[in-house]
Structure 1
Amino acid sequence: MKGIVFVELIKMAEDVFGEDAVDNVLDKADLETGGAYTAVGNYPCSELVKIVVAFSEHSGLSPEALQVKFGHWMLAVFVKSYPEFFKDKTTAFALLESVDREIHVEVKKLYPDAELPRFDTERVGEDRMMMIYSSPRPLEAFCLGLIEACLVHFGEDADIHRAPHPSQANATTFDIALRA
């Protein structure tokens, strides 16, 4: 997993809990890297999960709630750092549809070794989209946070239901229905 994810998780934690608390939590988390990450490095997802669990224990928030919060944080990072991916999009659905077709294509150009999740989208109507998130990493809640933040970014509101994909391992189906 690319280091930018780890770097931003630490930044979010510092923003929420403070630097001293982050140092203490990382020291106790028994991390192979000792909690030192670079944005361009590659690290095991298991280490990210350890960090989330450690902050969950520190804060009392569930690991899922922290992942959702982190999804919101990361979308803000993407908007600021990669405005070109957002400039011609006018809806959350348009952005979500562009993840695999445009955004991940560009990411692969920069980081050929990146192991990216898949986002298969299908419009079920003008106000409804089905999105299948496929990844061996247990980050469905992070994905939910990204979707929620994307909707907020475009000033849209939706009901989002998720469930394990019925016939695809390591996949979650998100049913996103815009509210009027």
Structure 2
Amino acid sequence: MKGMVFTELLSMAEHALGEAAVDDILDGLALDNDGAYSAVGNYSCGELMRIVGAISDHTAIPVPELQRRFGQWVHGRFVEGYPAFFADKPNALAMLDAIENEVHVEVRKLYPDAELPTFETEWHGMRALTMTYRSDRPLVPFCHGMIEACVAHFRQPAEITVTEIGDDHARAARFHVQLTG
């Protein structure tokens, strides 16, 4: 897993809890590299999940809700860092539809070793989209938060329905996004 995910998680936690609290949380874990991450490095998802679990324990925010909030945070960082991806999209559905064949193509150019989830999209008219998410990592709630933040970014009310598929423990889901406004 790319280090950017780790650095953003720690940045979000420091923003919410302060640097000292995050240092205490990391000190309580026996991490492979003592909690030092490079945005371009590669690290295990298991280590990320241990950090998420420790932040959850510290804050009493359940892990799925913490992942959702983290997805929202990361979406905001993407908007700040890569505004061109969003500039020509008329709505959230168009942006969501572009993830696999536009955004991930560019990510792979920058990081050929990136292990990205897959997104299959199916349009239902002009106001609804179903995204099927599959990953080797248990990050369905993270993805949900990213979708929520995308909808909020475009200021279009929408109903988001999440259906986990298979018994892959939060590794696959269908997100149905219906614009309501």
Q: How many residues align?
A: 180
**Once the two structures are superposed, what CA deviation does each residue of 1:150-169 show, in whole Å capped at 9, x if it has no partner?**
00000012221111225999
d(CA) in 2 for partners of 1:179, 1:19: 40
Which residues of structure 2 form unaligned runs of 5+?
none
Q: Is residue 93–residue 177 contact of structure 2 (8 Å, CA) maintained in 1?
A: no
Work out the CA distance in 1 between the residues paired with 2:134 and 2:14.
30
Question: Cα RMSD (Å) of the superposition?
Answer: 1.5
TM-score (structure 1 length as normaliser): 0.96
2:137 alignment partner, SS class: coil
Distance in 2 of aligned mates of 1:129 and 1:166: 20
**What residue in structure 2 maps to residue 104 of structure 1?**
104
After TM superposition, list the pairs within 5 Å mapping 1:60-79 onto structure 2: 60-79=60-79
- For 1:176, the equivalent position in structure 2 comes to 177
Q: Which amino acid aligns with 1:4?
A: M
Q: Is the 8 A contact 2:120 2:131 kept in 1?
A: yes
Instruction: After TM superposition, give the deviation of residue 136 of structure 1 in Å.
Output: 1.2
Q: TM-score w.r.t. structure 2 length?
A: 0.95
What is the percentage of aligned positions where both structures have the same residue?
Answer: 49
Contact 1:156/1:178 (8 A) holds in 2? yes
SS at match of 1:136: coil
| Structure 2 partner of 1:48 | 48
Instruction: In structure 1, list runs of 5 or more residues that go unmatched.
Output: none
Distance 1:164 1:155 in 2: 26
Runs of 4+ in 1 over 4 A off after TM superposition: 166-169
Shift of 1:29: 2.2
For each residue in 1:39-68, what CA deviation from the matched residue of structure 2 results, as whole angstroms up to 9, or x when unmatched?
000001111111110000000000111111
2 CA distance for matches of 1:121 and 1:42?
Answer: 28
| Distance across 2 between alignment mates of 1:117 and 1:174 | 14
